[in-house]
Amino acid sequence: MERKNKLLKSALKYFYNLYTKLYVKTAEEDKETEDNETKKSFLQLDSQVSEIMTARVDILALEISTSFNEVMQIIAKSGFSRIPVYEKELDQIKGVLHVKDLFKYLCHDKEFQWSKIIREAFFVPEGKNTSDLLKEFQEAKRHQAIVVDEFGCVVGIVSLEDILEEIVGEISDEFDSLQPSFVTKLGEKTYIFAGKISINDFCKAISLTDDKVFDPIKGDADTLAGMLISLAGHLPKKGETIKYQNYFFIIEKADNRKIEKVKLILK
C-alpha cells in the first residue's frame, strides 16, 4: 500500500510539473502573439505628428490673465477638457488647464486665480513619429501634447484622440457639433463648411439621415474636403464649383495643399 502511495504521489508530481510547464509555455506564446499584434498595430502608424495635429491657427488657448468668469464662458462654449495656457503670445506656453481641476472651485468668487492650478505642458517636435508618441502617451498617462518646430515655436497641438482617429477613423462626440468653425448656416439652403468636417457630420448639418447618397463619389474619404477632391479628380482651387445631383459646392478658401472652406448651395 505504501509503495502504491509513493508511486501515486510521484505520478501526480510528474503530471503537475508537466502541466505547469505547458501552462507557462502557452502563456508565453499567448503573450508573444499579443506583443506581435501590438507591434503590428504600431507599425501601421507611420505618420508624423505634423500630419495629424490641430494647426496653430485652429488652437483654442487661454491667456493667463483672463478672468475666471471669462474662462468659464470659454469652457462652456468649447467643450474641450484640456486647454493650453499662454502668457502674452502663444509661443509662451505656461501650462495646460484641465477643466476637471476647476470643479471644486466653481463656488468661488469671480476673482479666483485659476492659473494657479494649471498643469505642466508636454512638448513634442513636429517631426515625431505618431507611433512613438502613442507609446509616450500610454506610458506617461497623457492625453495631449504641444507641438513645436525646431525653433521652439508652437505649430499645433496633438491629442490622444487624434492618434486614435488615425487607427479607427473620425471620432465624434456631442461637443463636435458646437464648433462654429465647422458649419455656418447662411440661409435655408446655403451653408459654409470647414473642409475638415466629417462626411457624417456634414450630412447631419443638412438634415440627411445618412451619408449613403454620397457613396458613389466619396471613395475612401472621411471628410468633406476629401470627398470633393475625389469627385473633382484633382485639388480644387478657390472659386471652383463642383456639382453633384442638386448639391453645388463652391470652394471658398483653399491653398495648394488642402480645402479649408466650402460653400454649399442646395437647389
If asked whether residues 223 and 164 sit together in one domain, one would say no
- Find the mean pLDDT for residues 166-170: 65
Residue 111 CB coordination number (10 Å): 9
If asked whether residues 189 and 236 sit together in one domain, one would say yes
Q: Cell for 17?
A: 510539473
Round to whole Å and give the CA distance between 108 and 126. Answer: 39
Give the DSSP letter string of 244-264: ETTEEEEEEEE-SS-EEEEEE
Q: What CATH number is attached to the domain comprising 243?
A: 3.30.465.10
Which parts of 87-242 fold into alpha helices (H)? 130-140, 160-168, 199-205, 215-218, 224-232
Which residue, of 124, 149, 168, is where some domain finishes?
168
pLDDT at 173: 55
Average pLDDT of the chain is 80
Contact status, residue 219 vs residue 213, Cβ threshold 8 Å: no
- pTM comes to 0.54
Q: What CATH number is attached to the domain comprising 88?
A: 3.10.580.10
Q: What's the pLDDT tens digit per position in 98-144? A: 999 988 877 766 678 899 999 999 999 999 998 899 999 999 889 99
Inform me whether the pLDDT recorded for 148 exceeds 80.
Answer: yes
The answer to whether residue 44 is domain-embedded is no
Q: How much is the CA Rg of the chain, to the nearest whole Å?
A: 27
If asked whether residues 120 and 198 sit together in one domain, one would say no
The answer to whether residue 125 is domain-embedded is yes
User: What pLDDT band is residue 179 in, cutting at 50, 70 and 90?
Assistant: low
Q: What's the pLDDT tens digit per position in 180-230? A: 568 888 888 899 999 888 887 888 888 887 668 888 988 878 789 989 999
Q: What's the pLDDT tens digit per position in 26-66? A: 455 555 545 554 444 444 567 788 888 888 877 899 999 99
Domain holding 75, by residue range, is 49-168
The structural domain count of the chain equals: 2
Round to whole Å and give the CA distance between 23 and 227. Answer: 52
User: What pLDDT band is residue 80 in, cutting at 50, 70 and 90?
Assistant: confident
The answer to whether residue 247 is domain-embedded is yes
Three-point CA angle 203, 204, 209, nearest 5°? 80
Round to whole Å and give the CA distance between 166 and 162. Answer: 7
